[in-house]
Amino acid sequence: MKSDAIIVVSVTWPNHKKAKKALQILVKEQLVACAQLIENISSYYFWGNKLTRDTECLSLLKTTNLLYKKLEKRIKELHDYKVPEIIATPSIHVSEEYKNWIRSIV
């Protein structure tokens, strides 16, 4: 993947307040061009050999592959979870206008 390829990074957060604060920091620091927040998702997972259900928030962060490592490090600094969900997905198709906008920001 090219270093300037556009990626979408999904991150879950424990609550709206924590997510909102972190996303504002990530945008302000220009690690992401855009951050979207989806509230009140239900997450089911095993933690400590126990099936767990939590209500979380999901963020979708738009950035470039070149910034992924810096973004991951910063998310971990801002996050409360011991093992935060940080998943980067490559974009197959992105409109030229949107791609250029992202690259002009980050």
CATH of the domain at 86: 3.30.70.120
Give me the domain span that covers residue 11. Answer: 6-105
Total domains in the chain come to 1
Provide the token pair at 88: 């980067």
Could you read off the pLDDT tens digit of each residue along the chain, which spans 106 residues? 777 899 999 999 999 999 999 999 999 999 999 999 999 999 999 988 999 999 999 999 999 999 999 999 999 999 999 999 999 999 999 999 999 999 999 9
Query: What integer pLDDT is reported at residue 22 of this predicted model?
Result: 98
Is residue 40 a part of any domain in this protein?
Answer: yes
Q: Is 103 helix (H, G, I), strand (E, B) or coil?
A: helix
Q: How far apart are CA 101 and CA 97, in angstroms?
A: 6
The answer to whether 16 and 39 have CB atoms below 8 angstroms apart is yes
